[in-house]
Chain A
């Protein structure tokens, strides 16, 4: 619980830092929730389970010795997980989609918002709700 409480503050700050610094819009915070938390969680395991046997060194011919969990080992694992298996394939896939014109929606639609251009009925309902709310507020203020 305490580890989670510390990590959540870090990922919250990192999410907004990346958004402002690199102008990357992670609207649902997926990278923060899965990426940063995943990375820090793997590193945290290195401290909490420091010295635990992880796997036998059978590949090296030492069947009686065991590899140990260490913070630096976990850190290297986290780097491989986040950058090598996550970021790089994601970047390459985005690059391919971009070159096929499939990565982004038209600029104007992006600015107006997909929901506003796509759901005219919902917009009308929004207006009705807003009018009803305004009437209710007026009545409340008049009391």
Chain B
């Protein structure tokens, strides 16, 4: 099994052709990475907004914001 197109490094490197693996799959891999990259950002933004909303909700409860600033209380303890 080999993921490359050649068996040795003999000769002129310029004549070896592409030295990266999975030659012929470039377009597919670019699409895969693009989908992954966009999907990752959507997921990340949703997750971050959810966490920030939950923290803001907790801080809006009576005196929590004041406590967080003055007493260095972490949100987990509120």
Contact = CB atoms under 8 A, between A and B. Distances in A.
A9 to B, nearest CB: 12
Given A5-B40, A66-B8, A50 B69 contact: no
Question: Which size class do B's interface residues fall under?
Answer: 10 to 19
A102 interface: no
Interface string B1-36: 111101111000000000001000000000011001
B7 A66 contact: yes
Contacts of B40: 5
B4 A49 contact: yes
A138 B65 CA distance: 10
Nearest to B32: A2
A2 B36 contact: yes
A1 interface: yes
Interface in A18-74: 48-53, 56, 66, 68
Interface of B: 1-4, 6-9, 21, 32-33, 36-37, 40, 65-66, 69-70, 72
